[in-house]
Amino acid sequence: MKLTLSVIKADIGGYVGHSESHPDVLAHAYGCMLKAKNDGLLVDFHVTKCGDDAQLVMTHTMGVDNKTIHELAWNTFVGCTEVAKKLKLYGAGQDLLADAFSCNVRGMGPGLAEMDITERGSEPVVIFMADKTSSGSWNLPLYKMFADPFNTIGLVIAENMHHGYAFEVHDVMHGKKITFNSPDEIYDMLVFIGAPSHYCVKAVYHRDTGDVAAVSSTQKLSLIAGRYVGKDDPVCIVRCQGIFPAVGEVLEPFTTPYLVEGWMRGSHVGPFMPVSIPDSTPTRFDGPPRVIACGFQLANGKLIGPRDMFADKSFDNARQKALDVADYMRAHGPFEPHRLPLEEMEYTTMPQVMNKLKDRFIPIGD
Ligand code: F6R
Ligand code: MG
Ligand code: MG
């Protein structure tokens, strides 16, 4: 069956502060999605949240970048914003950067990851959702899943994975893209994707079949708005099993709570902590950054699930390590590398402070 899987998300108001989504807002989203399903626009849907971000998971047959589906998501978020405003939730409507919908939600604030697939005999997918971090935070785990044999043994011993995967990488600063073949070009690719604030892995494809394996959201809110309006809080869809990594290989990168940018005021570096869906409530110093994993089996477009994959006990050590790393990083206070370098910071008082003190700067001399 030909199918489109669309994940569209937005922060449309936090409860309390930026820590969680309010149930009334999610209930409104559910109502809009149910109506769209009853009207025949959607095959199926699931509404969830990651921290203060509302997440719409939709299956349909209208293809990626479809105006009707994007408008449905936009109008859902507009309605949710009204609910958020009544409750005076924090930052109500924060991610709706445009005044009105036009054609496509791309560039309007919401984050999106979509893929067109032919549903296989059995189609397991994992949808990762993050809060308090930037697009680009999927670079490291996507590399490990699809290019690192120390993570994914299937790359070595499964014949249908042995030829590797192609990575589509976006230069988000200059609006350009390039495709690298793995494993042949991994050294070249790592020069770029090791800098995730500039280069984001947008998609991964199976090299022999051309099938899409993974798609991530790469929208950068600060580039769209030209100022800080909250973190990107990206999402990523990964197909699993068969010609793709097994579910366990897809989850394995998150056993290391690697460092990502975001956290308090979008201006810090902190550990990416894998948590259950209910535990996606970034609280300590507005963090640490969280990642959830919603697992689904697709059945003729129906979303069977989600299974809350990081609720499993086997991620307890990763969580403990993340908390220890959070303590260690916090001990640096306002110093780099906990605080981001000046040019990367989302908030800064530097221009005002510099202006105030400019006459007191004198040459050092010899
Ligand atoms: C990080 C984030 C929060 C806010 C912080 C200040 O992505 O959303 O850490 O930056 O709570 O929020 P404002 O500036 O809205 O008072
Ligand atoms: Mg928020
Ligand atoms: Mg958020």
Residue 142's pLDDT band (cuts 50, 70, 90): very high
User: Residue 153 CB: number of other CB atoms within 10 A?
Assistant: 15
Distance 131 CA to ligand 3 centre (A): 5
Q: Above 90 in pLDDT, residue 122?
A: yes
Written as one string, the DSSP assignment of 182-240 is TTTTHHHHHHHHTSTTTEEEEEEEETTT--EEEEE----HHHHHSS--S----EEEEE-
Residue 16: pLDDT band with limits 50, 70, 90: very high
Cα dist. 283→23, 288, 313 in Å?
18, 7, 22
Q: Where is average pLDDT lowest: 35-39, 96-100, 190-194, 343-347?
A: 343-347
| pLDDT for position 317 | 98
Ligand 2 centre from 50 Cα, in Å?
A: 11
Ligand 1 atom nearest to CA at 264: 9
Q: What are phi and psi of 64, to 5 degrees?
A: -75, 160
> How far apart, in Å, are the Cα atoms of 60 and each of 22, 256, 294, 301?
27, 35, 19, 7
In a domain, 108, yes or no: yes
- Asked if residue 34 has pLDDT above 90, the reply is yes
Nearest CA to ligand 1 atom 3: 265
Tell me if 360 is assigned to some domain.
no
8 A C-beta contact, residue 213 and residue 239? yes
Alpha-carbon 105 to chain mean position: 16
Whether residue 364 is contained in a domain is answered as: no
In which band, very low, low, confident or very high, does the pLDDT at 347 lie, cut at 50, 70 and 90? confident
Tell me the C-alpha distance between 143 and 344, whole Å.
Answer: 23
Mean pLDDT rounded to a whole number for the chain: 96
Has residue 366 got a pLDDT over 80?
A: no
pLDDT in tens, 195-246: 999 999 999 999 999 999 999 999 888 888 877 777 899 999 999 999 999 9
170 Cβ inside 6 Å of ligand 1? no
Q: Determine whether 132 is an active site residue.
A: no
Query: How far, in Å, CA of 57 to CA of 9, rounded?
Result: 9
Whose CA is closest to 12, among 92, 72, 73?
A: 92
Task: Give percent above pLDDT 70 in the chain.
Answer: 100
The H or E element containing residue 118 is strand 111-118
**Quick one: average pLDDT of 75-90?**
98
Q: Is 324 a catalytic residue?
A: no
Residue 361 included in any domain: no
Whether residue 344 has pLDDT greater than 90: no
Q: What separation in Å is there between the alpha carbon of 311 and the centre of ligand 1?
A: 27
Mean per-residue pLDDT for 14-37?
98
**Is residue 211 a part of any domain in this protein?**
yes
132 C-beta closer than 6 A to ligand 1: yes
The SS3 of residue 170 is: strand
> For residues 268-306, b (16+ Cβ closer than 10 Å) or e, as one string?
bbbbbbbbbbebbbbeeebbbbbbbbbbbebeebebebb
Question: CB 226: neighbour CB atoms within 10 A?
Answer: 8
- Ligand 1 neighbour 17 (Cβ under 6 A): yes
Local confidence band at 10 (pLDDT 50, 70, 90 cut-offs): very high
- Under a CB-based contact definition with an 8 Å cutoff, are residues 257 and 325 in contact? yes
Instruction: Indicate the length of the chain as a whole number.
Output: 366
Residue 194 in any domain: the answer is: yes
Q: Is the pLDDT of residue 79 over 90?
A: yes
Count of Cβ atoms closer than 10 Å to residue 319 Cβ: 18
Instruction: Say if strands 273-274 and 290-299 run parallel, antiparallel, or are unpaired.
Output: parallel
Identify whether 205 is a catalytic site residue. Answer: no
Residue 266 in any domain: the answer is yes
pLDDT score at 343 = 79
Comparing 2-6, 85-89, 219-223, 263-267, the range with the smallest average pLDDT is 219-223
Number of domains comprising the chain: 1
If one counts every other C-beta atom within 10 angstroms of the C-beta of residue 118, the result is 9
Q: Could you tell which of 53, 229, 264 is best to mutate to test the pocket of ligand 1, judged by most ligand atoms within 8 Å of the CB? A: 264
Question: What is the 3 state secondary structure string of 44-83?
Answer: EEEEEEECCEEEEEEEECCCCCCHHHHHHHHHHHHHHHHH
Please tell me the predicted confidence (pLDDT) of residue 130.
Answer: 98
Which domain does 132 fall in, by range? Answer: 2-354
265 lines ligand 1 (CB under 6 A): yes
246 Cα–ligand 1 center, Å: 37
For residue 231, the model assigns a pLDDT of: 86
For residue 365, the model assigns a pLDDT of 87
- pLDDT of amino acid 362: 94
Reported as a single tens digit per residue, the pLDDT across 158-174 is 999 999 999 999 999 99
Give domain status of residue 77, yes or no.
yes
Whether 131 has a pLDDT exceeding 80, the answer reads yes
- Ligand nearest to the backbone CA of 94: 2
For the stretch 263-308, pLDDT in tens is 999 999 999 999 999 999 999 999 999 999 999 999 999 999 999 9
Residue ranges with CB less than 5 Å from ion ligand 3: 11, 52-53, 131, 233
